[in-house]
């Protein structure tokens, strides 16, 4: 058997379920270690910013949340496309497993963004390009989850969600470009609340570690959620009876 055949062995929910169970604690541990390191460097080692004081430290959670929100959407769309193209249930289940975490990160990005904006710019919300795009991204996530929740037949939900995710992922750069344009048109290039302070090396390292931490976390949580989805959807299967005993 070639290596690729052995890889496709895991395309069945039955074989993936135990694998996901083993991967989940591994990735969660990685996440915790990376977060500890990132937060330590970010809060203990990185210096105070000249303009924003200690308030800038919010970027150590805001920026990773924003990146993950965007990244997860792309990965989700990829899994959904694979599920559609190969008619593979498990790929579609992965897409569905990723969505809530992506939405959560989008929300956290907005929340931390607001808390960053208030002391810096005096308002709880600034209609700048990045925040507005993140808000729209949140709408796209919620739309995906709502569509899947509204359709009873799981395979139809998978495929409809896939089309929506693909349409969404094509639109994301268009939306981003449009909002960027709209933002410069109405505010001028001066106000960009997500313009990070000129970054000292320690700040960059801390931010990178936090991004990796959030990434590992996302994988861990996706593993856990996909296991739940597998159990729900495959509950009639023989192997499930043995797996839960």
Partner 1 sequence: MQWHSVGEFLAMGGYALYVWGSVGVCALALIVEPWALRRKHRRLLRSLRRRGATAGARASAVAVEVTR
Partner 2 sequence: MRTVLIALRRDLLLAGRRRSEVLTALLFFVVVVSLFPIGVGPERALLRRIGPGVLWVAALLATLLGLPRLFAADHADGTLEQMALSPQPFALQVMGKLAAHWLLCGLPLVVLAPVLGLLFGLSADALLVLTLSLLIGTPLLSLIGAIGAALTLGVRGGGVLLSLLVLPLFIPALVFGAGSVDAQAAGLGVQGHLSVLGAMLALAAFFAPWATTVSLRIAME
**CA-closest candidate to residue 63, choices 172, 186, 213:** 213
Torsions phi, psi of 182, nearest 5?
Answer: -60, -40
Residues numbered 156-185 forming contacts with partner 2, rule: CB under 8 A: 156, 159-160, 163-164, 166-168, 170-171, 174-175, 177-179, 181-182, 185
Alpha-helical runs (H) found in the chain: 3-8, 13-40, 59-85, 89-121, 129-150, 154-187, 201-233, 238-244
Q: Which does 160 bind (CB under 5 to 8 A by kind): partner 2, partner 1, none?
A: partner 2
Closest C-alpha to 23, from 10, 41, 35 = 10
Residue 140 binding partner per list partner 2, partner 1, none, with a CB distance cut-off of 5 to 8 Å that depends on partner kind: partner 2
Position of tokens 């808390």?
A: 115
Q: From residue 76, how far is each of 57, 165, 173, 218 by CA, in Å?
A: 29, 8, 16, 12
Residue 185 interacts with, from partner 1, partner 2, none (CB under 5-8 Å by kind):
partner 2
Range 8-67, binding partner 1 (CB under 8 A): 28, 39, 43-45, 47-48, 53-55, 57-58, 60-62, 65
Range 114-153, binding partner 2 (CB under 8 A)? 136, 139-140, 142-143, 146-147, 150-151
Q: How far is the CB of 102 from partner 1 (least distance, A)?
A: 12
Under a CB-based contact definition with an 8 Å cutoff, are residues 31 and 216 in contact? yes
**Which positions lie near partner 1, rule CB under 8 A?**
28, 39, 43-45, 47-48, 53-55, 57-58, 60-62, 65, 100-101, 104, 107-108, 111-112, 115-116, 118-119, 217, 220-221, 224-225, 227-228, 231-232, 235, 240-241, 244-245
């Amino acid at each position: 058997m070639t290596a690729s055949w052995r890889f496709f062995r895991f395309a069945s929910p039955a074989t993936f379920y135990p694998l996901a169970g083993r991967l989940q604690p591994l990735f969660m541990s990685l996440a915790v270690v990376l977060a500890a390191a990132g937060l330590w460097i970010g809060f203990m080692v990185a210096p105070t910013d000249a303009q924003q004081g200690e308030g800038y430290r919010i970027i150590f959670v805001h920026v990773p949340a924003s990146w993950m929100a965007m990244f997860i959407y792309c990965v989700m769309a990829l899994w959904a496309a694979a599920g559609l193209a190969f008619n593979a249930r498990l790929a579609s289940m992965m897409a569905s497993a990723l969505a809530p975490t992506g939405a959560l990160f989008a929300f956290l990005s907005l929340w931390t963004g607001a808390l960053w904006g208030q002391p810096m710019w005096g308002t709880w919300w600034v209609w700048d390009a990045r925040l507005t795009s993140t808000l729209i991204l949140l709408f796209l996530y919620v739309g995906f989850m709502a569509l899947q929740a509204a359709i009873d037949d799981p395979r139809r939900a998978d495929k409809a969600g896939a089309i929506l995710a693909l349409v969404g992922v094509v639109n994301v750069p268009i939306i981003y470009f449009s909002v960027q344009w709209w933002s410069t048109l109405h505010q001028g290039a001066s106000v960009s609340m997500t313009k990070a302070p000129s970054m000292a090396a320690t700040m960059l390292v801390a931010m990178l570690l936090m991004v990796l931490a959030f990434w590992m976390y996302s994988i861990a949580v996706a593993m856990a959620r996909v296991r739940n989805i597998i159990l729900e959807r495959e509950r009639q299967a023989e192997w499930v009876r043995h797996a839960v005993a």
